[in-house]
Structure 1
């Protein structure tokens, strides 16, 4: 029989636990969102093209998901605390290095390191939460508060980035990421003890049954469609609103925040609609909203100049569709894999991050990041793929093949 060593129990109250957990939930997302207001000026600063600057967003997004395939099993082997500390150190060092360089490809390489650290922090964080709270009533409070924090980061992060850049320059944005990370490390190191169960013969990952599941692929593609829509939006919004519509960095950040606020408000009401429509119905309606929003954006791009009303307002409708979709995609993708949930989770987030980063970036580069066309094409095209997969899944479930 495998030898199992039980970890020390966390005895912290929920408020104290959240003080330890919350920063490592916020920093990885903030690493993307706080940087958005200065994206339009980065081609000049780095003396490169907008397409190369787009890679500074893409590599971060892709590695944030892909890294989970590495750090998930690694945290099972060497422990959550070690992965958290290593990730935080990498994230802080990369932040300071990003503030010190103006060379384009060095900047991209450092953003990759930045994302590796962020991915490690996220894996260690959620593995710790699962270890500590899986069988405890406080889990509902912890998970709901963690989700609420992530919803507020896209709303407040760009505003913070704009204010910091305006006061102290773009380099201060990355210093502002590095200093709190170092400070939190010193604060949590004495308190964040190991939480994993140590087994002599750990179970190997099983990718094949997950990758052969039509249900898994349907809901993972749906998640990639929804999150990719948001990715293409924040990849194009700085150039459309700052360069095209003449917004200030702060004005852009406030406009961007309205989309995040629509998502936050929708999340408050999504549960009742999801209960009524079910997983497939929620995704179908979410995709329909993405297509309608893309249609409005296309008309506005053809007949109206860039503005809040022509670019951001249609995104409100798409934001509602994003929430309806992402509310059910994880459960939909993972429902068949209770015995290998960890592997399925890692693959789900890894694949969707590749869809978002690679496909989204291709649309932005090929169709021009200074217009609404990348957002129109990605949202409408990927929504069509998702609806096709949903229909195929419905037909299969209605006429199951004999065993």
Structure 2
């Protein structure tokens, strides 16, 4: 009997139409309400620090939740985990819109993050099941991973438009409605892809964690996503409070980073074919370092502005896309028989590193300056490049 479930006949465009909404929603929910963060403490009767905490809580739970949903996806299947997570995300989003105090808001934010976690693990496990050994795999990994990076850059502008037209609650109502539509589409078209002989035992997590390849590429993913997390955590204070940007102007400026990512996504497949996974990872880390160095120059030479804060982030944005185009495939290559668990550990490690280390640099260093956005990518890039060098030395004899 084949080890693979054969029931997946969608063309690549149809598969993207089916799966991409869940990837997009999980990413959008990270920071779509960023433009209304300054007014939410007053609305919910709390402090700015608590509202900031809801950004970090989402990031951490997005990964930690996958330690539950990954093994479930290997044991029960991708489809039930996807549908259950989508339903939880939709209900929680509507609950956030209905919240009148901060405990209620945080409760539904936790549930929203868990729903997003289930959606992500089911989506990426399905991608691994279907496309790991097909030519379209490079494209779909690049598109989905890049979405995780650049969709949050579009979130604030969408949030500003929704809040400006219908108030802040409209942001979460919109998330709930879109999730419901995506869920209805998936209920009709998302067939089960779990390998017939998938090994669902959580005890095999040690096999994943002992892999140097897994750690090298997962740390690369963490460096890329963490750089963007620190960017959207510091950007409101730098651009709105210090540079004097209005919320809509801030959102439009923020969205230029997404535009750079979208443009980069269009040619990144050629880069992967030319440089390979290791070459792309090294170049991605180099671009993160270059962006950080430019931020240092801007921090010393002038006050925060488009030129000194956003333009360096464009360089980092290219590095983020080049990196995330290869990290999932690079990290998960050896774990086809336990894709759900491996994907879960991959996202859990990334979310913990980003949520803990990213939040730490924002809290410890001046959050209204570029220093958090300088220190995080520099430190992470050095670690990743050292790990990559060790991995290449280890794999050289085999090649």
TM-score tier, shorter chain, comes to 0.7 to 0.9
Is the 1:367–1:373 Cα contact (8 Å) retained in structure 2? Answer: yes
- CA gap of 1:207–1:312, structure 2 versus 1, over 3 A, is same
| Aligned equivalent of 1:238, options 220, 236, 251 | 236
Deviations 1:106-150 (A, max 9, x none): 423321111101111222334445556678787677666656765
Find the counterpart in structure 2 of residue 210 from structure 1: 208
Q: Which structure 2 residues correspond to residues 168-179 of structure 1 after superposition, within 5 A? A: 168-179=166-177
Residue 157 of structure 2 aligns to a residue whose secondary structure is helix
Find the counterpart in structure 2 of residue 247 from structure 1: 245
Deviations 1:242-282 (A, max 9, x none): 22222222211111111122122223333444444443343
Number of aligned pairs?
Answer: 397
CA distance in 1 between counterparts of 2:301 and 2:363 reads 23
Instruction: Give the CA deviation at 1:368.
Output: 3.2
Instruction: Give the CA deviation at 1:12.
Output: 5.7
Instruction: Give the CA deviation at 1:311.
Output: 0.9
My pick for the range that moved more, 361-370 or 146-155, is 146-155
Residue 207 of structure 1 aligns to a residue whose secondary structure is helix
Deviations 1:5-57 (A, max 9, x none): 99794566665555443332322112124222222333343443433222211
Find the counterpart in structure 1 of residue 183 from structure 2: 185
Is the 1:80–1:127 Cα contact (8 Å) retained in structure 2? Answer: yes
Larger radius of gyration: 1
| Aligned equivalent of 1:124, options 122, 125, 137 | 122
- Report the TM-score, using the length of structure 1 for normalisation: 0.85
Q: Which structure 2 residues correspond to residues 230-379 of structure 1 after superposition, within 5 A? A: 230-379=228-377
| Aligned equivalent of 2:77, options 76, 79, 83 | 79
- CA gap of 1:301–1:49, structure 2 versus 1, over 3 A, is farther
| Aligned equivalent of 1:99, options 97, 114, 118 | 97
CA distance in 2 between counterparts of 1:95 and 1:72 reads 22
- CA gap of 1:180–1:217, structure 2 versus 1, over 3 A, is closer
Deviations 1:334-389 (A, max 9, x none): 34445544433322221111111111011111113222111111111222222333
Structure 1: gaps of 5 or more residues: none
CA distance in 1 between counterparts of 2:318 and 2:362 reads 22
- CA gap of 1:79–1:282, structure 2 versus 1, over 3 A, is closer
Instruction: Give the CA deviation at 1:230.
Output: 0.8
Residue 270 of structure 1 aligns to a residue whose secondary structure is helix
- CA gap of 1:333–1:19, structure 2 versus 1, over 3 A, is closer
My pick for the range that moved more, 100-109 or 316-325, is 100-109
Find the counterpart in structure 2 of residue 36 from structure 1: 34
Instruction: Give the CA deviation at 1:213.
Output: 2.4
Structure 2: gaps of 5 or more residues: none
CA distance in 2 between counterparts of 1:140 and 1:219 reads 15
- Report the TM-score, using the length of structure 2 for normalisation: 0.86
CA distance in 2 between counterparts of 1:143 and 1:50 reads 36
CA distance in 2 between counterparts of 1:115 and 1:273 reads 33
CA distance in 1 between counterparts of 2:297 and 2:144 reads 38
Find the counterpart in structure 2 of residue 115 from structure 1: 113
Is the 1:40–1:242 Cα contact (8 Å) retained in structure 2? Answer: no
